[in-house]
Amino acid sequence: MNLYLTFDNTSKIGKCFLNLRKYLIINSNDVIDELGFTGLEIDDCTSFIINEEICKMIKSGSSGRKLLSIVYSNHSFTDESIRALIHYAEGIKNIDKVILLTEHEEHEDYYELFEEVMFFPTLKKVHIIECQSYPAALLDRTTELKNLDNSYL
């Protein structure tokens, strides 16, 4: 089972992928609403409660036999929060990889934190399983080569 992290909202996920009923979709805004923190100032204590609820959802979702993967959507990821999620996922035996799900050439600063990066499909709706993810190290190298080639134009 993979854990996909994305900055994009769940409506975009629904427009790009088929058969999402086999996936656990976690939206940080929905979790905040369900816990009753909507409209409140989110301080450290509130943030801790929200993070614990999301971690609980990821752990319980990873033990589900009918789910194929988990997609976690949060528009306000930070370097620190991504690192914490990756570290947390390493301790869950059913999660094989944490993969960044993003648009091509967006959020490139975060590629190095992930083993793999997967881009949203552009032409038609597909199954997440059908999408190919790329090793982040290869993407960084491709960007370097592209920049190198552009410098000689």
- Show me where the domains of the chain are located: 2-151
pTM, entire model: 0.81
**Contacts by residues 75-82 (CB-CB < 8 Å, ≥ 24 positions apart):** 75/7, 75/8, 75/9, 75/28, 75/29, 76/28, 77/5, 77/7, 77/110, 79/109, 79/110, 79/113, 82/5, 82/110, 82/113
Is it true that domain 2-151 has CATH number 3.40.50? yes
List pLDDT tens digits, range 76-104: 898 999 999 999 999 999 999 999 998 88
In tens, the pLDDT along 28-58 reads: 999 999 998 877 777 888 889 999 999 999 9
Residue type, position 17, single letter: F
